[in-house]
Structure 1
Amino acid sequence: MISTEYVVSEQPFTVRRTVKWGQCDPAGVVYTVVFAEYVISTAELFYGCLFGQGPQQAKDKYQFGTPTRGLTFDFRKSLRPDQQFDTEVRVGRIGTSTYQLLMHARDMEGDTVFTACLTPICIVRGQRESIPIPEYFKEKLKAHQTSDAP
């Protein structure tokens, strides 16, 4: 069986993905909305690495959630079916309740495909009330923080 996404490095945290045929339009180019799925899926794998267990199990255990407050993209190249690319994750600015996950996707030739900034906000699990980033989670984020965070 062939895996279409997997972690290739934990430092820097990097996910390799293969584009599936069903993620593309009739012209054979990845649909724009699929890039958001790539980013969210990569973030979930990143959280799994940070917690050492399933991210939703960990968030249940510690009673907090991380819904998306913001998501921005800069697209540089299109992707086609069966094409592989790597997405590297770095932590940008860490605020009181929010933090940035900076993602840089490159094709196998090393060319930038896209960059993205995912800004989650910490909330009380099951409520829509922001909370400060839990200290143990903040420390894990700092281990992946980039020195050139915006």
Structure 2
Amino acid sequence: MLHSDTRRLTYNDTDPAGILYYASWFPKMEALLSDFLYRNGYRQDQALAAHGWTTVTRATECEYLAAARLFDEIRLELRVGHIGTSSFQLAYRMVRTDDDVLVSRAKTTIVLVDDEQRAIRIPADFRAQLEEWATA
């Protein structure tokens, strides 16, 4: 696991029956990634100026394996997956901490783009960093 955070589900995360609303994972996944990148010196708000590229989400998918409910404490885990020419995958796991049940897993494909939103090759230094993270 590369990075994790534990969150308690709130009413905002659930439907009227108190079960996790399916789209609630996506902002939490993005927040986990943003926090991880920030802690490692890659600020998305400064990436174009600092590196000449920024990241955009190309695709995302999520599997719902068990119900998550209001006030469940969930550990979100982040890993680096496949690294391509201009994109890389991130893998997420959402685990209920009370019983260690995997409630969801997800993948996101991130593309590096230039200031005109054109896909670019992953620079060698960032590729090396991704590869290091993938083996962490």
> What TM bracket, shorter-length normalisation?
0.7 to 0.9
Matches of 2:108 and 2:75 in 1, distance apart? Answer: 17
Q: Are 1:90 and 1:146, in contact at CA under 8 Å, matched by a contact in 2?
A: no
Instruction: Tell me the equivalent position of 1:130.
Output: 119
Runs of 4 or more above 6 Å deviation: none
For residues 102 and 83 of structure 2, what CA distance do their matches in structure 1 show? 25
| Within-5 A mapping of 1:53-72 | 54-72=43-61
Normalised TM-score (structure 1): 0.80
Q: Distance in 2 between matches of 1:54 and 1:98?
A: 18
Residue segments in structure 2 that go unaligned for 5+ positions in a row: none
Question: By how many angstroms is 1:29 displaced?
Answer: 1.2
**Aligned residue identity for 2:52:** Q
Q: What is the identity, as a one-letter code, of the residue corresponding to 2:62?
A: F
CA distance in 2, matches of 1:41, 1:56: 14
Select which of 132, 139, 142 maps to 2:131: 142
The correspondence for 1:15, drawn from 5, 19, 25, is 5
Q: Which residue of 2 aligns with 1:105?
A: 94
Identify the residue that residue 46 of structure 1 maps to in structure 2. 36
Tell me the CA shift for residue 146 of structure 1. Answer: 4.8
Deviations 1:102-148 (A, max 9, x none): 111111021101111110110003x220001122222221122159x
- Mapped to 2, the partners of 1:49 and 1:68 lie a distance apart of 20
Task: Say whether 1:92 aligns with 2:86.
Answer: no
TM-score by length of 2: 0.88
Structure 1 unaligned segments of length 5 or more: list them.
1-10
Could you give the per-residue CA deviations for residues 6-57 of structure 1, whole angstroms, max 9, x where no partner exists? xxxxx63112112121121110112111111121111111211332x64323
Percent of matched pairs sharing the same residue: 24
Match of 2:25, SS state, is: helix
How many residues are aligned here?
135
CA separation of 1:59/1:13 partners in 2, compared to 1, >3 Å: closer, same or farther? Answer: farther
Q: Is the 8 A contact 2:20 2:69 kept in 1?
A: yes
The C-alpha deviation readout for 1:82-114, integer Å capped at 9, x for no partner, is 211111111111011000001111110211011
